[in-house]
Amino acid sequence: MIHLVAKEVLRQYQCKSFIETGTFEGDTLALVESWMPELPHLKSLYGVDLWDKAIEMTQKRVKHTQLFEDNSVNWLKTFVPQMESPAFYFLDAHTFGWLPAEQQEISNSYSPNNQLYIQELEILMKSSGPFVICIDDWNAEYNLSQSKHLIDHVWVTTSNSPTVCDINGNVRGIGRPSCYFVKGLDETILRDLELQREE
Ligand SMILES: C[S@@+](CC[C@H](N)C(=O)[O-])C[C@H]1O[C@@H](n2cnc3c(N)ncnc32)[C@H](O)[C@@H]1O
């Protein structure tokens, strides 16, 4: 789930669109929708998940988000050129262990070896931006070495800060780091938000 620092990132970069890959039950989209009154630039929200049940569950919780049942890589290829900039991409479709076996097999067939976020990044990095990318559940040692050809450093949330909250502000779990990086935007904003730089 998204960290509260994302609200500040959205605000400071004046993002106009928010895109989540992997919606699951819609926790993140419901939370981001609840921030909209304080984020006047944020006009368009999109969520994509390949599992029909995830889309059904999310649909019950959101009002302002356009939802799509699709593989995130296919979806991004089609829709990235249409996103209003600056866009904020929250990549969270990469986690194993969330899906019934059948859906996991479908996801694996699109992206063996859990490389979905690399395929997503390849599409996004070819686009002109400007944009912010946030990748959830970041493991620097593993993920940064795999994505070195696409990104050379990232800004990371502290791993144990209790910032993973549900829509009512209740802490739902132990925070795991997210990484952030930007294209075509001033990255000192990420530094000033006291995220840690990792190379
Ligand atoms: C970790 S959960 C997402 C949690 C959610 N982002 C949140 O903040 O609460 C991962 C989701 O990714 C979806 N997923 C897995 N592979 C996918 C793919 N290739 N394309 C789109 N969604 C995918 C799964 O169906 C699952 O709902």
The full set of domain ranges for the chain reads: 5-198
pLDDT tens, 81-140?
999 999 999 999 976 566 778 777 877 787 766 688 999 999 999 998 899 999 988 877
Q: Which two tokens mark 197?
A: 């730089």
Around ligand 1, the residues with Cβ closer than 6 Å are: 1-2, 20-24, 27-28, 48-51, 54, 71-72, 92-93, 95, 98-99, 103, 107, 110-111, 116
Q: Which of 4, 23, 111 to mutate to test the pocket of ligand 1 (most atoms within 8 A of CB)?
A: 23
pLDDT tens, 30-62?
999 999 999 999 999 999 999 999 999 999 999
The phi and psi torsions of 101 (rounded to 5 degrees) equal: -55, -40
The number of helices, as runs of H, and strands, as runs of E, in the chain is 8, 8
Q: Is 86 exposed, middle or buried (0-12, 13-18, 19+ CB in 10 A)?
A: buried
Q: For residues 23 and 96, is the Cβ–Cβ distance under 8 A?
A: no
Distance 49 CA to ligand 1 centre (A): 6
Q: Which CATH class is domain 5-198?
A: alpha beta
Q: Which of 98, 104, 119, 138 to mutate to test the pocket of ligand 1 (most atoms within 8 A of CB)?
A: 98
Q: Which of 4, 55, 91, 95 to mutate to test the pocket of ligand 1 (most atoms within 8 A of CB)?
A: 95
Distance 23 CA to ligand 1 centre (A): 5
Q: Which two tokens mark 106?
A: 């479908």
Q: Return d(Cα 52, Cα 49) in angstroms, integer.
A: 7
Q: Return d(Cα 120, Cα 108) in angstroms, integer.
A: 14
Q: What's the whole-model pTM score?
A: 0.93
